[in-house]
Amino acid sequence: MPETINTDLVVLGGGPGGYAAAFLAAERGVQTTLLDANAKPGGTCMHVGCIPSKTLLHVADLIHLGHEAAEFGIAYGKPEIDLAKLRAKGDKIVDMMSTSLLKGCKDRKVNHIVGRGDFKDPHTIEVAPLTPGPSPGGRGVTITFKRCIIAVGSIPAKLPTFDIGSPRILDSTSALRLESVPKTLLVVGGGYIGLELGSVYAALGSSVTVVEMTASLLPGVDADLVRPLFARLRAQFDKIHLETKVTEVEEVKDGIKARLEPSSPLPPGEESGVRGEFAVFEKVLVAVGRRPNTATCGLDKAGVEVERGFIKTDKQRRTNVPHIFAIGDAAGEPMLAHKAAHEGKLVVEVLTDEAHAEWDPRAMPAVVFTDPEIAWCGLTETDAKKQNRPVKVGVFRWGFSGRATTVGRNDGLTKVLVDPATDQVLGVGVVGAGAGELIAEAVVAIEMGATAKDLAMCIHPHPTLSETIGEAAEFLHGLSSHIFVPRK
């Protein structure tokens, strides 16, 4: 007979938000069950997202460093790529980290169940065991619960154009398996996923073509941050087609035949080099974003309201069903692992001893792990213009940075956006090597209500890239040693 488990709290999904919530709840004495479709926790981020992709991006960085060493008088031969060893290394990292999370369940006495959950009513989830896959006793399980946190994450978005059943067409998950390095790769989508994975394949030897429907790579990101990346990618990629879409694909003997067309009408008299152009690529990576994974867990049976695929929540991440909460990608943009983790902890605070806690971050950091990296938090110039909000902007170009110059990476810039009336820091953007590591200082500054003068007066170690944040703030107050601004 199917087994029935009664629990105080069930967390549906074992990704960064799910396991963070389950662990904290258990530590606070809540009887907790973590239900996940993976044999080990970690979710998309751990198994087919953040961790494996950043492992491959590190490999790409090593290859680039080998090429750049020639500028410093050090010559290396052409790198030899052992894909089997590379895959094994990535698998080992994922297994080590996910095993640690599994131990975390045991240490905290979290009941970890492997299977796919389907709501039967607002207090019951039926678990379908995976095939093959572990499940208690190998049977289906029914979980009854008092409270629930939905953390089912997201899945790659699909386009009907590419639904032709060909293994040559990849998504962000299959692209990480690296069964081979194609001679030619078409990347559909110039967002962070497409550019990160495109960079990996280019470093490994693929001739990469990127197609983006809008007028810019990384749509929505400030143009001055994208510009240095675009310049570098033009040298790494074979072609970058903006304002272009793929209207037709067909599998042929040597790959995928794709038809490229302008994505919007061209101005009178202007012609596009890709109007009706056909090209054949060994493989195609479709990277047009992600969508919430909410369609297969029976939310309607629980009475949970959904809008455009996202679960509707309030500032405590409570759904319209009072004892059911939702976090992470399933609960709305931005789809970021660190957002999900903090939302999970917030919900546990609400469930235990902080009934008035609400989700209200001032600075949500985002990082694009390309080369150079792009990172930002708080208000962007793009959003400030849309809101007609006045800001003062201090920019420090890395050509003036001693550290950036010594390592041959002075193509970056750091900028600080402040309120003209109060000098309070509203946003920070960075493009350059290691930008993702630098942005944390800006998050703290914004969350603590710091001013640009505060940043300028904090002593940053020299020579480091972290100085660029202080230097951008110094520029706003006429304190810059490296940028001369004539006084009016």
Give me the active site residues, please: 462
Distance of alpha carbon 304 from alpha carbon 302, whole angstroms: 6
Phi, psi of 481 (to 5 degrees): -85, -20
CB of 80 closer than 8 Å to CB of 62? no
The closest of 423, 421, 477, 414 to 446, measured between CA atoms, is 423
Q: How far apart are CA 253 and CA 281, in angstroms?
A: 11
Kindly report the number of other CB atoms within 10 A of residue 361's CB atom.
Answer: 15
The DSSP annotation for 437-469 comes to: HHHHHHHHHHHTT-BHHHHHHSPPPSS-TTHHH
End-to-end alpha carbon distance in the chain? 84
Closest CA to 439 of 409, 411, 465, 404: 465
Distance CA 314, CA 334 (A): 16
83 HSE (CA, 13 A, CB side): 12
Classify the C-alpha dihedral 376-381-386-392 as positive or negative. positive
Say how far apart CA 247 and CA 257 lie, in whole Å.
11
SS3 73: coil
Euclidean distance between CA atoms 443 and 377, whole angstroms: 6
Contacts of 430 (CB under 8 A, 6+ apart): 225, 373, 374, 375, 376, 412, 413, 414, 415, 438, 439, 442, 468, 469
| Number of residues in the chain | 488
Q: What are 189's two structure tokens? A: 């989508």
Backbone angles phi, psi at 350, to 5 degrees: -60, -40
φ/ψ of 392, rounded to 5, equals: -105, 140
Q: Which residues pair with 430 in a beta bridge?
A: 375, 414
> 247 with 254: CB under 8 angstroms?
no
Integer Rg of the chain from CA: 24
Angle at which helices 223-236 and 192-204 cross, to 10°: 30
d(CA 192, CA 367): 9
